Amino acid sequence: MKSLSLYQEFDISIYVAQEWEYGTHKHNFYELIYILEGKGTHILNDHKKEYCKGSLFLLTPEDYHSFVIEEKTSFCIITFNRIYFSKEYSLKTDLLDFSELFRKIEMIFYNSNNSNNELIKNEADKIYIEVLIQKLIEEVSQKRFFYENIIQNTVFLLLNIIARNIQENLSASFKINNSKSEIGDILTYIQKNIYQKDKLTIEAIATYFYKSKNYISEYFKSETGESLKSYISKYKINLVKNRLMYSNLTISQIADELEFTDESHLNKIFKQFFGQTAKQYKIKYSEKTKSK
């Protein structure tokens, strides 16, 4: 399996092919793939999904995929990394700093590719996405005044529409077996407030959903199979892992961002999950990346 790296913060291209020439590969960046024409099968993390005109796929860093093309296909491929929406990038360009907003939806994307579900189910959103993709292509080709700002805002709008659909799909899947289930709403609340420690206590969550502490704890475990505290810890530590791999933040900065007591506290929790400290993990990942 090949591994592809992004050497700039953002790129958009049109790729037309009768046969897929890249094989199965993974990325160290985000990739939005929109099907302009054609049909076939997309294989993402071993899940097969038929595609046609209007299909949309979101790949996160470390996802691996390939295409089996049945009819000549025209792909619109948008690649970007976390830096594209960061404060450090905005200081170098005239673009906006979306870092605070991007991090609120970032982890949602890492939960989107573990099933064969359609990414966008809402028909109105499908139409909206088609318009936005065409607008992106137009802006890139014409390069009119402020086109870079319009492109960045349009991509961020696309990501928010995708995040909303992922969350709606999650809530709907829990309600298939139990129409009164609130677990999807609770998970959405946790993801939305993952950077705000005071909103993630059992007391705060119970208050928000007008339940008792005991009820919310028992209900969450019965619906998910794990405790509320364990789920939140796993969620946060996976954010830490992603920061270590795909950002230039120090471990101290990551600890501060995710409201760990200090770097030592972060390392202690990280080691419980991954058997090594955050620093050791970052060094090993860096060495692994350089050797490719």
User: Going along 81-186, which residue ranges are E strands?
Assistant: none
Dump pLDDT digits (tens) for 64-104.
999 999 999 999 999 998 889 888 888 888 898 888 888 87
Q: Is 80 helix (H, G, I), strand (E, B) or coil?
A: strand
- Mean pLDDT along residues 195-218: 92
pTM: 0.77
H or E element at residue 224:
helix 213-224
- Number of neighbours of residue 158 by Cβ within 10 angstroms: 20
- Mean pLDDT along residues 48-69: 93
Q: Report the alpha-carbon distance of residue 24 to residue 1 in Å, rounded.
A: 5
pLDDT of residue 168: 82
Q: Is 68 helix (H, G, I), strand (E, B) or coil?
A: strand
Q: Report the alpha-carbon distance of residue 47 to residue 94 in Å, rounded.
A: 39
Distances (CA, A) of 72 to 57, 134, 244: 18, 19, 39
pLDDT of residue 105: 82
Q: What is the mean pLDDT of the chain?
A: 87
Q: Report the alpha-carbon distance of residue 2 to residue 91 in Å, rounded.
A: 34
Report the DSSP pairing between strands 2-4 and 25-27.
Answer: parallel
Instruction: Classify 2-174 by CATH class.
Output: mainly beta
Q: Report the alpha-carbon distance of residue 167 to residue 176 in Å, rounded.
A: 15
Q: Is 74 exposed, middle or buried (0-12, 13-18, 19+ CB in 10 A)?
A: middle
- Domain borders along the chain are 2-174, 237-292
Dump pLDDT digits (tens) for 225-271.
999 999 999 988 988 988 888 777 889 988 998 889 889 999 999 99
Q: pLDDT above 70 covers what percent of the chain? A: 91
Q: Which CATH superfamily is domain 237-292 in?
A: Homeodomain-like (1.10.10.60)
> Going by C-beta distance under 8 Å and a sequence separation of 6 or more, which residues neighbour residue 94?
148, 149
pLDDT band at 115 (very low <50, low <70, confident <90, very high): low
* Cα dihedral value 278, 280, 283, 288, nearest 10: -100
For residue 152, pLDDT over 90 is answered with yes
For residue 25, pLDDT over 60 is answered with yes
Take residue 222 and report the two structure tokens written for it: 């019965």
For residue 116, pLDDT over 70 is answered with no
